Chain A
Amino acid sequence: MIVAEPKPIKEVVDMVKDYNKVLIVGCKGCVTVCNVGGSKEVSILASTLKIASRKKGRDIEVGECTLERQCDPEYVKELENIIENYEAVISIACGVGPQFLSERYPSAMVFPGVNTKFMGGAIEHGEWSERCAGCGTCVVHYFGGLCPIARCSKSLLNGPCGGSNQGKCEISNDVDCIWDIIVRKMMTQGRLDQLLEFRPPKSWITSRDGGPRRLIREELVK
């Protein structure tokens, strides 16, 4: 999932301080799963904004709405006839959400309510960890099913650096050295020699180096 965290409340309050009618739009996708942008969080942010405004003697109107997904036009369309009643919109979806809202409703003043962090998964309830850097050409099968691009601090593809110590990365004892884990796993599986196979340098053209990305699948396009 795409993992996000709430923006500091003061930042959000400051963004919409000049507006009297604010719509908060949540998303039932990834951000609901990581407890940052679902219907519950929409209500919490709405209540928080009301407290903040009433503290200043203002009474603002805060609308609440949670779309199935903010990254699909068919759901974004559901805000027609709603969004025009508000002076400002706070999207608490990942960074895709506020952009889809901005593009679909050009006159709307759209603000992000969360900081999008990474693509990852839940280690346990309340803790998430990065797993994918979205390089565009998956290579985890060369590394025992683990991604050194996303999980090595230097994204090294040819083995651990000198900063690997007792299975931990030099940047922090909280960070595992993924190369330590890769090597041990390949040894356990009896295929350590596969790491010695020559591979040409990875092409990063499918990553951000190729500019903003777009994907077209002809069989799906109408």
Chain B
Amino acid sequence: MNEFKPQVVAFYCPNCASAAANVAEGMGEILPDNIKMIQVPCTGRIETLHLLRPFENGADGVYVAGCQEDSCQYVSGVVKAAKRVASVKKILEQLDMNPDRINLFNLSAGKGHRFVEVAYEMIGRLKEIGPSPVKVKP
């Protein structure tokens, strides 16, 4: 039997998270290949709809990698993202889906290891939760 390999979409900002990604790359740490990374100008730009679309198309999980709340270049981008992630959690709950399928992580520019760690953390959670109940016809 094939082991469940969660399909994950991750949104990340070009500042803290992106810098952390570069540090991770320099350290030779590699992201798992089942994570589709999407860079956005700021996590505050991510709309509720952007977070729902992956679920609509069968993704098992979604996460947002943003700055620390006190170090967002655009002041409150990651705070806005956190509110939208919370609103999608509520939508998932109402659809009888586990709200832990979506999460937000606050990263720091210098912590490359953490950038890769959250990806594995998310995959670990999703393996416990199981595959998405959303069936997309090919």
Contact = CB atoms under 8 A, between A and B. Distances in A.
B56 A47 contact: yes
B5 interface: no
B52 A54 contact: no
Contact of A55 (B47, B53, B135): B135
A8 B47 CA distance: 20
Contacts of B136: 54
A105 to B, nearest CB: 27
B133 interface: yes
Given A10-B94, A48-B91, A48-B95, A54 B56 contact: yes
Interface in A3-29: 8-10, 13
Contacts of A32: none
A43 B135 contact: no
A48 B97 CA distance: 12
Contacts of B97: 51, 55
A59 B135 CA distance: 9
A40 B47 contact: yes
Given A40-B49, A43-B49, A44-B49, A51 B134 contact: yes
Contacts of A55: 95-97, 133-135
Interface in A35-71: 40, 43-44, 47-48, 50-52, 54-55, 57, 59
Contact of B49 (A8, A13, A47, A54): A47
Given A8-B94, A9-B95, A10-B94, A51 B56 contact: yes
B54 to A, nearest CB: 10
B78 to A, nearest CB: 17
Contacts of B135: 54-55, 57
B53 A47 contact: yes
Nearest to B83: A126
A116 B120 CA distance: 44
A90 to B, nearest CB: 16
A42 to B, nearest CB: 10
Contacts of A51: 52, 55-56, 95, 97, 134
With most chain B CB atoms within 10 A of its CB, the pick from A9, A10, A54 is: A54
A47 B55 CA distance: 9
Nearest to B96: A55
B82 to A, nearest CB: 14
Contacts of B91: 9, 48
Interface string B30-64: 00000000000000000111001101101000000
A151 B32 CA distance: 57
B15 to A, nearest CB: 25
A52 B52 CA distance: 12
A12 to B, nearest CB: 10
7 contacts: A8-B94, A9-B95, A40-B49, A47-B56, A54-B135, A55-B135, A57-B135
Given A13-B95, A54-B56, 18 more contacts: A9-B91, A9-B94, A43-B49, A44-B52, A47-B49, A47-B55, A47-B56, A48-B52, A48-B91, A48-B95, A50-B56, A51-B52, A51-B55, A51-B95, A52-B95, A54-B58, A55-B96, A55-B134
Interface of B: 47-49, 52-53, 55-56, 58, 91, 94-97, 133-137
Q: Which 4 A-B pairs have the closest CB atoms?
A: A9-B94, A47-B52, A54-B134, A55-B133
